[in-house]
């Protein structure tokens, strides 16, 4: 009921996945990413416990922290259903317009080498959507990427939208702007307050901006 990609960036070891589907909040379901372990996409009639029972109705795409990959598509997944394995990534889907969806995802991902992993995953979703996507229609999409820390660097979702992939692109562009502002100040396991001075300056700038807006509002009211 979905098309997805799981991948590892060979340049920095980042792990991530992206998905789009005609299913509510699909970006929040069936994804499992753990730093130093790997990433798994579980879909079709997904089982969050990743059990083998009922596997004929399920799909899995797996990449580990070293870039090794595996995939499985159950015999009773609704067609078109299948997967494509590449270097450090898996594209997979079911109830798709055709095999061209996963092929387009793989092509977009491979051609974007050198871009940040979240951008490459986004391009893969856009490629799959342009190739036909989920044959039932559109509803939700999401991206998650883990970098150096145990919490997500990027965790974005569009849960219910008539054009979720396009909306996810818009949200990703906002994320990129915010990422530039917070660069180097994200808490680390070994240092909870990296670049503390930069973080304090950012905090002070936010407060000044709020004070200025309040002053303008007060002036208008008087």
pLDDT given for residue 176 in this prediction? 95
* 102-115 pLDDT tens trace: 999 999 999 999 99
pLDDT given for residue 134 in this prediction? 94
- Residue 15: closest CA among 157, 129, 154: 154
- Residue 72: closest CA among 83, 87, 86: 83
Q: Which two tokens stand for residue 160?
A: 């219910």
Tell whether the torsion through CA atoms of 139, 4, 60 and 96 is positive or negative: positive
**Strands in 125-221 per DSSP E:** 140-146, 152-158
* 50-94 pLDDT tens trace: 877 899 999 999 999 999 999 999 999 999 999 999 999 999 999
Instruction: With residue 19 as reference, give the H or E element that holds it.
Output: strand 15-21
Residue by residue, DSSP assigns 20-36 as EESSTTGGGSSEEEETT
Pick out the chain residues at pLDDT < 50: none
Instruction: State the Cα–Cα distance between residues 195 and 122, nearest whole angstrom.
Output: 30
pLDDT given for residue 173 in this prediction? 97
Instruction: Please say whether the beta carbons of 21 and 1 come within 8 A.
Output: yes
């Amino acid at each position: 009921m979905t098309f997805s990609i799981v991948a590892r960036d060979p340049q920095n070891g980042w792990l991530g996945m992206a998905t789009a589907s005609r299913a509510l909040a699909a970006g929040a379901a069936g994804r499992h990413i753990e730093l130093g372990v790997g990433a798994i996409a579980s879909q079709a009639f997904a089982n969050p416990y990743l059990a083998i029972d009922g596997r004929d109705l399920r799909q899995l795409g797996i990449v580990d922290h070293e870039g090794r990959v595996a995939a499985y598509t159950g015999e009773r997944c609704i067609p078109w259903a299948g997967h494509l394995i590449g270097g450090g990534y898996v594209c997979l889907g079911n109830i798709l317009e055709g095999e061209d969806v996963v092929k387009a995802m793989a092509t977009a991902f491979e051609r974007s080498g050198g871009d940040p992993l979240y951008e490459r995953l986004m391009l893969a979703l856009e490629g799959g959507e342009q190739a036909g996507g989920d044959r039932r229609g559109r509803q939700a999409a999401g991206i998650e990427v883990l970098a150096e820390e145990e919490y997500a660097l990027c965790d974005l979702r569009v849960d219910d939208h008539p054009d979720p992939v396009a909306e996810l692109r818009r949200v990703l562009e906002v994320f990129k702007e915010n990422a530039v502002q917070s660069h180097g100040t994200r808490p680390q396991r070994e240092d909870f307050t990296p670049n503390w001075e930069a973080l304090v300056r950012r905090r002070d700038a936010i407060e000044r901006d709020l004070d200025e807006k309040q002053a303008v509002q007060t002036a208008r009211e008087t």
